[in-house]
Amino acid sequence: MIIQADYLIDKDGDPSQSGFKEIYASSARGLGCTIIYSWVLKCNREGKCASGVCDKCSICLRGFADRICPPINKQDYLDGGFTKPDGNGGGGGGGSSNPNPNPDPDDTEVIGTFPILENPRKECDKVKKLASDILFRQKMNNLEQATNYRFEKIFTGYPNPDPNSLPRSDFKFLEKDGVIGEHKLEYGYFYSLVGIMHSHYEGLLSVYSADDLFDLYQKMKDYRITDDFFFGLVTKSGTRYLITISDREKFIAFGDKYLSTPIKMTRLINNFYIRKYNIYADNTAIENEKGFVKMATELKMGVAIFSGNSDFTQWKRLTYANNQVNSSTCN
């Protein structure tokens, strides 16, 4: 779980200590403690990092780890305090009842390896990469043509194994058509899946359906699929959308609450899509968009929603505030 992410400038002006910092926390199994991992990506545009891009190399990566445990002292616990365990507190239980106020530096827990982090990117950066990819745009245009038929079409996207293929693209797409008249489309995928785009024909929603969100929920529960996953939609109503995952834990929590069983999905459709947020097939695209973006905001989906132009080269991020949808261009 990310608990902090920001850009830091060293207080003494040392460029080698400036950079993007992400702090993660995870529970230490069986100890009642939390291990805090910190990575400092030194994108300082100095020396071998002159490009300002930290491309997973150790030159631009420093890592730290520390472990904190809830104190045994009841008053400290009520005050929300945390103390580091002493050298004798590591085998079981939730910390030491007699923390060492001056721990030996040599007792500091050492983590031998750190997971490789992707470059920190904003959600707009993910979408700009797609907008600049000619093959992605072609496939989205294919979906727009497919909205004239009475079946759904889907493209599953994967990393391109041949960067010299034409047209030049970061992706390879596999295509499948649904059954005429059916509102669902069954498909298979490989674990290297990086994105999905699909169509809604006339009579289907102008925004993502509950079944669409369930599909995305299933993908986000698969640890082999990365947070860079994208989820596209083109509809007969003329809407063009992309969803990216801004907070995976939030989206999975949303799915656990509203998508994990057929009963929960039925309640999501009846109580939220239709009754609360006024989203239904016969509604206008504008009203459905307002309802969907509002629902994503109020139910804390943890996603970023984008609306595209007719040739899929420009995308605007949609947010909800003050009873209206606001859009900001990804420049």
For residue 24, pLDDT beyond 70: no
Average pLDDT score, the chain: 75
- Across-strand partners of 205? none
Phi and psi torsions of 252, nearest 5°: -65, -40
Contact (CB, 8 A) for 40 and 19 = yes
Q: Which of 244, 248, 148 is nearest to 195 (CA)?
A: 244
Q: Judge whether residue 32 has pLDDT over 70.
A: no
Q: Is the pLDDT of residue 23 over 80?
A: no
DSSP 83: B
Residues 250, 302 contacting (CB under 8 angstroms): yes
Please choose, from the candidates 193, 256, 259, the residue with its C-alpha nearest in 3D space to the C-alpha of residue 229.
193
Q: What percent of the chain has pLDDT over 90?
A: 56
pTM, two decimal places? 0.64
Which ranges constitute the DSSP H helices of 191-284? 210-220, 248-258, 262-267
Confidence of residue 9 (pLDDT cuts 50, 70, 90): low
Helix H or strand E segment including 74: helix 74-78
Residue range 180-204: mean pLDDT, rounded:
92
The pLDDT assigned to 46 comes to 55
Query: Sorting pLDDT into bands at 50, 70 and 90, what band is 13?
Result: low
> Which pLDDT belongs to residue 164?
80
d(C-alpha 6, C-alpha 70), whole Å: 26
Residue 12 has a pLDDT of: 55
pLDDT at 265 over 90: yes
117 in Cβ contact with 60 (< 8 Å): no
pLDDT of residue 302: 95
Give yes or no for residue 185 having a pLDDT over 70. Answer: yes
Other Cβ atoms within 10 Å of 145 Cβ, number: 11
Residue 266 has pLDDT above 60, yes or no: yes
* pLDDT band with cut points at 50, 70 and 90 for residue 161: confident
